[in-house]
Structure 1
Amino acid sequence: MDRLILQKAASYCAYQERTQDEVRQRLKKWNVWGEEADELIAELISMNYVSEERFAKTYAGGKFRIKNWGRMKIRQELNRRGLSQYSIEKGMGEIEDKAYVEGLRTLLTKKKTLLSKTEADPFKLKQKLARFALAKGYESELVWQELEKLD
């Protein structure tokens, strides 16, 4: 195993959390394939540079707090990145129910303030708010519950 490539991969992983897939793609760019790539990834995992559980927790928490994404969108993105169901569930555990509902409420309130200036019809306003929250990845039942409370 090439120590230089291992060092390079370690610093790539130290910069920010990565999935095994992301590391494998980067190794391909460095012309490292097959068994050698698998060995490097195993070494990075044993050195604690790569942890899919840690990635899922960081990703889920960050997307919720910073981008106000809902659970559905976060879960879909973690799935797309090839994480195990176990890691995804650990990541989703980072989002507390109370904070989740508060986040949705805040999101809807801000958006309602913006849309109220241009949309006079309350029915259309509610539709736009719902569409906005659903696009952010919030569950439709929760969105409609919060919209009823918002009136």
Structure 2
Amino acid sequence: MRTSKHYSAKEAMAKMAKYCAYQERCPHEVRQKLYTMGLAYSEVDEVMDWLIDEKFLDEERYARAYVRGKFHFKRWGKIKIRHQLRAKQIPEKMIESGFSEINEDAYFNTLKEIIDQKFSSLQGEDSDLKKKQKCFNFAYGRGFEPELIQKYLNNILP
């Protein structure tokens, strides 16, 4: 979808500097936005290079901020976070760097909290096995690793 106005590379730089300064952006979404502004491929490359040189764009910084936000606020697991970052074309090396933002104890405690909350919401269910399966599915849907989920479920319901 193209806008009716065609921006020059210089106008796009100013607009994208504000766009990136407002919140962390991944290069893929910025590149897509530049194309919708009607810029040619060479102009898009010029603007992208400038944004990176001027530190408005940084994949590693983006990955770290994304991991922090999705883990702490959305309470997502690593599988879901990794999947979403891959969809944004973030390199695997940067994704791994982003995961350094997650403390392993905090990660397991978050998993325990979401399972405990789900388990307590299922008090009307008839069998512990059904509750356990629903808790597993819930945590797995949040992106937590199956072996970690199973480890905790085995502790609360032998």
**Structure 2, unaligned stretches of length 5 or more?**
1-7
**Structure 1, unaligned stretches of length 5 or more?**
none
Q: 1:147 aligns with which of 143, 149, 153?
A: 153
* 1: CA distance, partners of 2:11 / 2:45: 16
What's the TM-score once normalised by structure 1's chain length? 0.95
* 1: CA distance, partners of 2:113 / 2:156: 10
* 1: CA distance, partners of 2:9 / 2:44: 10
* 2: CA distance, partners of 1:7 / 1:135: 40
**Deviation digits for residues 96-143 of structure 1, max 9, x if unmatched?**
111100000011111111112x31211100000000001111111100
**Deviation digits for residues 16-49 of structure 1, max 9, x if unmatched?**
1111110011101110131110110110011100
Q: Alignment partner of 2:25: what SS? A: coil
The code of the aligned residue for 2:111 comes to L
Q: Which structure: greater helix fraction?
A: 1
Corresponding position: 1:106 with 2:113 = yes
> Counterpart in 2 of 1:88?
95
Q: Alignment partner of 1:77: what SS? A: helix
Q: 1:135 aligns with which of 131, 138, 141?
A: 141
Runs of 4+ in structure 1 over 2 Å off: none
State the 1:65 CA deviation: 0.6
What's the TM-score once normalised by structure 2's chain length? 0.91
Corresponding position: 1:36 with 2:43 = yes
State the 1:67 CA deviation: 0.7
Q: 1:14 aligns with which of 7, 21, 32?
A: 21
Q: Judge conservation of contact 1:115–1:125 (CA < 8 Å) in 2.
A: yes
* 2: CA distance, partners of 1:65 / 1:150: 24
